[in-house]
Amino acid sequence: MRRFGIVLGILAVGLAIGGYVFFTGERKAPVRYRIAAVERGSVVSIVSATGTINPVVSVQVGSQVSGMIKSLHADFNSRVKAGDVVAVIDPEPFKARRDQAASNLEMARANVARAKTDGAQRKRELERVRSLIDQNFVSQNDVDVAVTNAQGADAQVHVAEAQVRQAEAALNSAYLELKYTTIRSPVDGIVVARNIEVGQTVAASFATPNLFLIALDLTKMQVDTNVSESDIGGIAEGKDATFSVDAYPGVRFSGTIRQVRLAPINVQNVVTYNVVVAVDNRDLRLKPGMTANVSIVVAQREQVLKVPNAALRFTPPQSERVEGGSAESKLAKAEGRPAASRASSSATESGASARKVWKQDESGELVSVSVQTGISDGVATEIVGGSLGEQDPVIVGLDVPRANRQGSELPPGFGGGGGQRRTRDRGM
């Protein structure tokens, strides 16, 4: 009986230990991998940027004189031709200045006539004095005074003539200012903006006021966009570009790069360059000021091997690299070098065009394949070298069955019921 009790106690302890291990031990979920095949097709590398749609040529119409706006002859969206009147400034003050300048000119001309008459009189006096000095009726001093008076009279004539020319210039200026009160369009186009109202006073003393903005031709537009310095190397004049605007969802507009401006734009140590995209706007759907999401084709390859970018980003889990297959260790051993750490491996991959993808061999072990990559379109990357071939399977991620996932592997709010039941059973 005593031996039977000992055996029974040992069995009870064994069952207790086994139950504890069964209910509290972590069961490793089987790891499955998502596989994708290497394909052959086209890869298009693009650069995305945001820009603004503007007219190719726009003219700001200002005023050269100050005054009150008397009338407007153009409004928003008005079509105007070169020479058409778009606004009139009150001309009455300028007419008064013109009349005053004309009066000043008449007075200056009268002064010239008076100065000439006085000069003629001084010359006659000089001749009379010179005729009398031979007869000793006058002294030499009288002759000198007469000469001086005659010369002064000639100088006064020149002064009066200069005043006439000055008055003529003032009159011409008054006529020009009166002419400038009528504001005309310098080009044929469409009025995009009007910044004045009737009765408003404009001041042209310090800067030319902006009264109207006239677009020369809205059938030809351009997109002004800024491209970062890291992407500007692949952009050149003549390349194709497409863009979209919020006004027309799902519609792609096409254009051509017309200019890559060399002047850098530095904002908070971020350097960008202005890229101008020429756009045909014959249907006038595009409006000035619209925001455009531009995609510029940098490079394009046809019928090349391409691999999903997820395969280039994939790295085996730590358990698979160390405990499970030890694939990296096997690879390092085969190459005759020590196993590299994760940090050094990542630095090597990011520093060159040589990349690494993973695949499974016939036994299910993970093996790495080195490849040389080319351009990328954000989804797939061109393969320019390596041992990968078309339809070769590569690993793009992990695929753990839902039923085998632990509660800690699920996002919050998913699978909570099962995890709670398992925890409750373990507590009992």
Show pLDDT as tens, one digit a residue, over the chain (428 residues): 566 566 566 666 666 666 555 555 455 556 678 888 888 988 888 899 999 999 998 999 999 999 999 999 999 999 999 999 999 999 999 999 999 999 999 999 999 999 889 888 888 888 877 877 777 777 788 778 888 888 888 898 899 999 999 999 999 999 999 999 999 999 999 999 999 999 999 988 777 788 999 998 899 999 999 999 988 988 999 999 999 999 999 999 999 999 999 999 999 999 999 999 999 999 999 999 999 999 998 888 888 888 898 888 888 876 555 333 334 444 444 444 444 333 333 333 333 368 888 888 877 788 888 888 888 888 888 888 888 888 888 888 887 655 555 544 444 433 444 433 333 333 33
Beta partners for residue 382, in sequence order: 306
Which uninterrupted H or E stretch holds 171?
Answer: helix 140-180
Kindly write down the DSSP assignment for every residue of 87-108, as one continuous string. EEE--HHHHHHHHHHHHHHHHH
Query: What pLDDT is recorded for position 50?
Result: 93
Q: Which amino acid is at 309?
A: N
pTM over 0.85: no
Query: What pLDDT is recorded for position 409?
Result: 44
Helix, strand or coil, per DSSP, at residue 271: strand
Q: Which amino acid is at 65?
A: V
Rounded to whole angstroms, what are the CA distances from 335 to 282, 328, 329, 340, 357? 64, 11, 10, 12, 17
Query: What pLDDT is recorded for position 182?
Result: 95
Fill in the DSSP letter of residue 209.
Answer: -
Q: Which long-range contacts (CB under 8 A, 24 or more apart) does 404-413 make?
A: 404/29, 404/30, 405/29, 406/26, 406/27, 406/29, 409/29
Is domain 46-56+223-302 classified as CATH 2.40.30.170?
yes
Q: Tell which residue, 114, 127, 104, has the closest CA to residue 153.
A: 114
